[in-house]
Chains A and B, each alone.
Chain A
Amino acid sequence: MTKRIVARIDIKGPNLVKGIHLEGLRVLGEPHEFASHHFASGADELIYMDVVASLFGRNSFDHIISDTCKDVFIPLTVGGGIRTLKDIERVLKFGADKVAINTAAVNNPGFVKEAASAFGSSTIVVAIESIKTGPSEYLAFTDCGREHTGLNVVEWAKKIEEQGAGEILLTSVDREGTGEGLDQELIKLISDATSIPIIAHGGIGKKEHVKEAFEINDQIGAIAMASCIHYEHVLSNQKLKKNEQEGNDDYLQNRRVNKKITPFSLADLKCYLQKNNIKVPSSLKEYTQYAN
């Protein structure tokens, strides 16, 4: 099975941000600029996550989506603050291909069913934010891992599949931003319990993590990453600036990277995976022709 490499872009206000355990968000730059860069480097898919649901329903978010879809020609999943069928219709109208739902699904699992029947299962991604609470025990959270739902992730994953979700975006909040590698135990629990595609997320810090994860569990169809690829872009571009006067730009000023993270570009990653016999869509010759 061909694997997907997904670039995840967390957005707060007008900026791309990155934290650890989804918290302590640092501004790295503009979402669209990073999306274009990752597209040109061979990303197979993008996720725009409005991490504090700060923008949802605001025109500025619609513009970030539509500007991106004018020149980035890969699937885009948009999440953060989606609560109604109208919300879904709105982001799809501006160019998103899929939506990621978390809180609204937890509040009312029937919403997943409604959304799947209105827009098709392949459009509806349910985001699960998981925190390990005991040996082999993981619970689902919302709001960047802050709000406790009491739901066991395995039961929850089965439930949302039953409701017609087309895909699970599985985030290990424990690993997110740490660069310690994916939580394979968590992923195995979910992949054993479900029969829909899974995007594994949270913890990729170096290329080897991606290779190992695909090798250990062949049920992982896609891996999402953020820190390692965003930092590579920042480090190789002195000019990047944040948008407007908003957010913590400590990182952009000092450019200090978490020691567990070894930044890499997606072009590098794809070459590396291909060399190691992991099937990824061929790295793409004429990217520069279309990417801005």
Chain B
Amino acid sequence: MQTDNSKNIAIIDYNMGNVFSLMSACKKIGHNAFVTNEKDQITKADIILLPGVGAFADAMKNIQKLKLDELIVEQVNKGKPLIGICLGMQLLLNESNEFGKTRGLGLIEGQVLPLPKQTDNGELIRIPHLGWSKISNMLDQASTKIIKHIHNNNFQYFAHSFYAKVENKNDILALSSYRGFEFASAIKKDNIIGFQFHPEKSGPQGLELLSSAINSFHLKVPKTEQNL
């Protein structure tokens, strides 16, 4: 299902993520997605998609080994849109406290912390948070425009033990809660969007959300001009 609005999406391959499902999802919503860790391909893409499942430290190590950290930061600073998903969102922050401190990509101010194991009343919270939670829109104009489909019944699928503690409230796009603990489930800063949940595994409403996130970016060189 390729359309005129079809974008070239580079899904970063650094051996830490379910890239196949992400690629299937991007294709389903009409984009041209490819899995790569090559500089040329990433530089040429309209959008960078950073997936990730597993440990923060391993992920950073793999990214550094492939020299992708500098490339991603450079591309983002030049204005290339980036979407980080799950661990891929957490990597955007300054650092993680998962098994000792590890530095992240530092694109968004904040740190990655473990989810609490008890509620305020001392009740058990089963970790990891595996399952579907509502995401609620932070009511600033920019975000309503991006996630135009968010409404009260929008559930997305989560699979995580850590969460992003974002420094600047303006960078938070949506909040979710698990057993009463509220955390940033979507973040946004300039040309960067991050999702803690897996839109590619959240059924039709996940695909809708991924689609509106992708379409929210104004590419520097519109597709039509590129083709002329």
Name A239-284 residues within 8 Å CB distance of B.
281-282, 284
Contact partner of A122 (CB less than 8 A), chosen from B20, B25, B161, B179, is B161
The answer to whether residues A281 and B155 also contact, given A75-B198, A118-B54 and a CB cut-off of 8 A, is: yes
Contact partner of A95 (CB less than 8 A), chosen from B18, B124, B128, B179, is B18
Complexed CA–CA distance, A120 and B87 (Å): 10
Complexed CA–CA distance, A196 and B159 (Å): 12
Most buried by B among A75, A197, A221: A75
Complexed CA–CA distance, A2 and B178 (Å): 9
Please give the number of chain B residues whose Cβ is less than 8 angstroms from any Cβ of chain A in the complex.
39
Please give the number of chain A residues whose Cβ is less than 8 angstroms from any Cβ of chain B in the complex.
44
Q: Which residues of A contact B24 (CB under 8 A)?
A: 69-71, 73, 95
Q: Which residues of B contact A118 (CB under 8 A)?
A: 54, 58
Q: Which residues of A contact B183 (CB under 8 A)?
A: none
Complexed CA–CA distance, A230 and B157 (Å): 24
Verify A73–B202 contact, CB threshold 8 A.
Answer: yes
B127 to chain A minimum Cβ distance, whole angstroms, is: 7
The answer to whether residues A73 and B207 also contact, given A95-B18, A119-B53, A196-B127 and a CB cut-off of 8 A, is: yes
Task: Flag whether A39 is at the interface (Cβ < 8 A).
Answer: yes
* Binary interface encoding of chain B residues 158-176 relative to chain A, with 1 for a CB under 8 A from any of its CBs, else 0: 0111000000000000000
Complexed CA–CA distance, A166 and B20 (Å): 22
* Binary interface encoding of chain B residues 174-194 relative to chain A, with 1 for a CB under 8 A from any of its CBs, else 0: 000011000000000000000
A271 to chain B minimum Cβ distance, whole angstroms, is: 14
Task: Flag whether B126 is at the interface (Cβ < 8 A).
Answer: yes
Most buried by B among A93, A117, A290: A290
Contact partner of B130 (CB less than 8 A), chosen from A39, A94, A167, A195, is A167
Complexed CA–CA distance, A290 and B132 (Å): 19
Q: How many CB-defined contacts (below 8 Å) exist between A and B? A: 121
Q: Which residues of A contact B28 (CB under 8 A)?
A: 71, 73, 290
Q: Binding site of B, secondary structure by majority: helix, strand, loop or mixed?
A: mixed
Q: Which residues of B contact A3 (CB under 8 A)?
A: 131
B47 to chain A minimum Cβ distance, whole angstroms, is: 19
Task: Flag whether B227 is at the interface (Cβ < 8 A).
Answer: no
Task: Flag whether B205 is at the interface (Cβ < 8 A).
Answer: yes
Q: Which residues of A contact B134 (CB under 8 A)?
A: 2
Contact partner of B179 (CB less than 8 A), chosen from A1, A119, A286, A289, is A1
B150 to chain A minimum Cβ distance, whole angstroms, is: 13
Task: Flag whether A189 is at the interface (Cβ < 8 A).
Answer: no
The answer to whether residues A39 and B203 also contact, given A1-B179, A69-B20 and a CB cut-off of 8 A, is: yes
The answer to whether residues A195 and B200 also contact, given A92-B18, A122-B159 and a CB cut-off of 8 A, is: no
List 7 A-B residue pairs with CB atoms under 8 Å apart, sorted by A's residue number: A39-B203, A70-B24, A74-B157, A117-B55, A122-B53, A122-B160, A281-B155
Point out residues on A near B: beta carbons under 8 Å: 1-4, 39, 44, 66, 69-71, 73-75, 92-98, 117-123, 166-167, 195-198, 219, 221-222, 281-282, 284-287, 289-290
Point out residues on B near A: beta carbons under 8 Å: 18, 20-21, 24-25, 28, 53-55, 58, 87, 117, 124, 126-128, 130-134, 153, 155, 157, 159-161, 178-179, 198, 200-208
Give me the 3 closest cross-chain CB pairs, A-B, nearest first.
A281-B155, A281-B132, A122-B128
